[in-house]
Amino acid sequence: MAAVMVQDLHCCDLPWQVDWQQDKCVLCGACAAACTVDAIHFVASSRGVRGAALRQRAELARACTGCGMCSRVCPQNAIRPLRNPDHRFPLLARANGPLKRGGRSNLHAQRTLDKLTVGRISQMTDPALDSERHVFDLRAPLGRVLPVRDLPLRVEGEALSLAAPTPPVRWIYPLMFSDMSIGALSTRAWEAIALACAYLNEQCHLPVRMCSGEGGMPGRLLESEHLQYMVLQIASGHFGWNRILRALPRMKTDPAGVLIKMGQGAKPGDGGLLPAAKVAAHIQAIRGVPRTTLHSPANHQGLYSIEEAVQKMHLSCNAAFGFRVPVAIKCAASVTSVAVYNNLLRDPYNICGGFFLDGIQGGTGAANEISLEHTGHPLASKLRHCYLAAQAQGRQGQIPLWVGGGVGQTGQAAADAFKLICLGANGVLVGKLLIQLLGCVGNEQGRCNACNTGRCPAGICTQDMRLVRRLDIDRGAQAIVDYMLAFDAELRKLLAPVGNTSLPVGRADVLVATDRAVAQALGLDYAC
């Protein structure tokens, strides 16, 4: 009998175990072929008349992720992954460096948004509305909104006219598709989201906008009319920006905006990362880079202070588009967010067109687990503090607040959006919700979350064409469109009872908190 070495890795040490029922199995091999991490294989059987048996590999590099693709393809329902509550995976992974994965945080604490509810309902004194019959103005600004006293107005006879140009403003839908780049997503996944965005604008008349993410865009899209639905992002890596600049003379229309990313909520203060496994040939062409792991530095290469950000980056991005396109900035939620927002509000050039705030529960394609779970700030309180800081100066609404990070995490995106708008947001960003609609099997309890490996079993976060072909573009786009139409109806259902026909930005009196600490921190009524 072989000696037992307790240091040897066993399947009991891994977070997922493969349950195989030999009496049902027909040995077709579909499960092993569908597994993207090569976690299972067939070996010669030592007993019985059957010639093979299925075994799970006890290797960290080939550890089962629990995606369940083996169950989907098995004709006999003879195999499935089972969660192992007694695993030692976090300790074992440190032998190969910090544990890295995609997906959201695994923190299981109840969200602040779940402790808020709509408590002010219009009744006899202030009649409510009928969400099916009334007309609602669901529009949010992207761009610097000047107060009336600062508008360059002049009187010409009986008419008012502008004596000087004003900052560009786009009035768009209060939900934006968040920044996920071509590279982080597969070409089919990115195309499905872009297709859904165009359909919502042209057929459903919902002015939804999509952020391109860092890394540039396909040349054909840059030179098409659909560019008006896109927000171009530039980040510290400057990937793909040269292609955008070269396409400027051939652009048929201006983009919806430009977003400068300073940080993100999933790993604030840490640079972005696109693993070499995802840098396929078309990504190399768009970004102008070789096949290597691409890092976006943590500090923006061209910025060292908030004042310099306003003077250099905002000014240059505005000048590139002839001051016709709003330029916004994206930061991670932290204790310094209010200081950044205050400085942007005092911008003498009136150039900053938006402040995008990303909370700790935001998703990511590749990050160390220590960053995902232990850095950053919850979204709700920091949003409220930014809004109150602007209100104290009488400048609320001048620089729109857009927030993201966990919106729709529990499946109630409309409720989350409504609560955040009442706390002071002009609009919200959704990211992981979109890829879940495309067919992502990952969740917040540790299932799959292998976005960083380039072996996404759903074909969403990979550049392997064998896996990408699993994703149906049309069905994915249709799922996003259907969800957005439901989101729009639900948002109106929430606006109607409070008696609003427009977005209740900053109306915290609408909300009550079921937690005393949350009520005190956000300045809300406490409902026991």
Q: Convert the pLDDT of each residue in 435-451 to its tens digit.
A: 999 999 988 888 898 88
**Residue in 396, 397, 413, 393 with CA at minimum distance from that of residue 405:** 413
- For the segment 210-220, the average pLDDT, to the nearest whole number, is 90
Same domain assignment for residues 89 and 148: no
Tell me the CA distances in angstroms from 303 to 298, 320, 326, one per residue in order: 11, 18, 19
301 and 389 in one domain? Answer: yes
**Domain boundary, last residue among 97, 112, 147:** 97
Lowest mean pLDDT among 155-164, 217-226, 435-444: 155-164
User: Does residue 125 form part of some domain?
Assistant: no
Pair (319, 214) in one structural domain: yes
Would you state the structure tokens that stand for residue 344, as one six-digit string? Answer: 């942007």
The tens digit of pLDDT for each residue in 295-337 reads: 888 777 666 676 676 677 777 888 889 999 999 999 989 888 9
Same domain? For 487 and 345 the reply is yes
Residues 91 and 162 reside in one and the same domain = no
Query: CATH number for the domain including 300?
Result: 3.20.20.70
For residue 492, is it within any domain? Answer: yes
% of the chain surpassing 70 pLDDT: 96
Q: Is 242 left (phi over 0), alpha (psi -120 to 50) or beta?
A: alpha
Question: Could you tell me if 419 and 472 lie in one domain?
Answer: yes
What angle is formed at CA 172 by the lines to CA 429 and CA 416, rounded to 5 degrees?
A: 35
Range list of β-strands (E), 135-272 = 140-142, 153-156, 159-162, 170-172, 175-177, 209-211, 230-234, 257-261
Would you list the DSSP string of 368-384?
EHHHHHHSS--HHHHHH
Identify the pLDDT of residue 1.
56
Q: Where are the beta strands (DSSP E) in 262-371?
A: 273-274, 294-295, 327-332, 352-358, 367-368
Range of the domain at 481: 138-508
* Distance from C-alpha of 58 to C-alpha of 40, rounded to nearest angstrom: 9
Same domain, 435 and 307: yes
Shared domain for 91 and 144, answered yes or no, is no
- Position 382 in a domain: yes
Q: How many domains does the chain have?
A: 2
**Helix intervals (H) in 288-347:** 306-308, 315-320, 337-345
Calpha distance 139→38 (Å, rounded): 48
In a domain, 267, yes or no: yes
Q: What is the pLDDT of residue 107?
A: 61
Q: What is the pLDDT of residue 102?
A: 81
84 & 165 share domain: no
pLDDT, tens digit (0-9, with 9 covering 90-100), for 64-97: 999 999 999 999 999 999 999 999 988 888 877 8
Q: Does residue 503 form part of some domain?
A: yes
**In angstroms, rounded to a whole number, what is the distance separating the alpha carbons of residues 230 and 177?**
9
Query: Do the bridges between strand 16-20 and strand 40-44 make them parallel or antiparallel, or are there none, so unpaired?
Result: unpaired
Note whether 524 and 511 are within 8 A (CB). Answer: yes
Q: In the chain, how long is the greatest CA-to-CA distance?
A: 103
Q: Where are the beta strands (DSSP E) in 49-119?
A: 52-56, 79-83, 100-101, 116-118
pLDDT recorded at residue 159: 87
Q: State the number of CA atoms in the 13 A half-sphere of 260 facing the CB.
A: 26
Residue 360, in any domain of the structure: yes
Integer Cα distance of 391 and 149 in angstroms: 17
Amino acid at 159: A
| Domain identity same for 214 and 352 | yes
Domain co-membership, 147 together with 245: yes
Q: Taking the alpha carbons of 469, 474, 475, 480 in that order, is the dihedral positive or negative?
A: positive
CATH of the domain at 18: 3.30.70.20
Q: What are the pLDDT digits (tens) for 458-491?
A: 999 999 999 999 999 999 999 999 999 999 999 9
Residue of 52 and 209 predicted with greater confidence: 209
Asked if residue 165 is part of any domain, the answer here is yes
- Give the number of other CB atoms < 10 A from CB of residue 275: 18
pTM over 0.85: yes
With respect to residue 495, please indicate whether it lies within any of the assigned structural domains: yes
| Contact between 59 and 82 (Cβ < 8 Å) | no
Task: Specify whether 168 is located in the same domain as 300.
Answer: yes
Residue 401 token pair: 């607040």
Integer Cα distance of 104 and 437 in angstroms = 16
**What's the whole-number average pLDDT of the chain?**
89
Number of residues written out for the chain:
528
Domain boundary among 45, 77, 97: 97
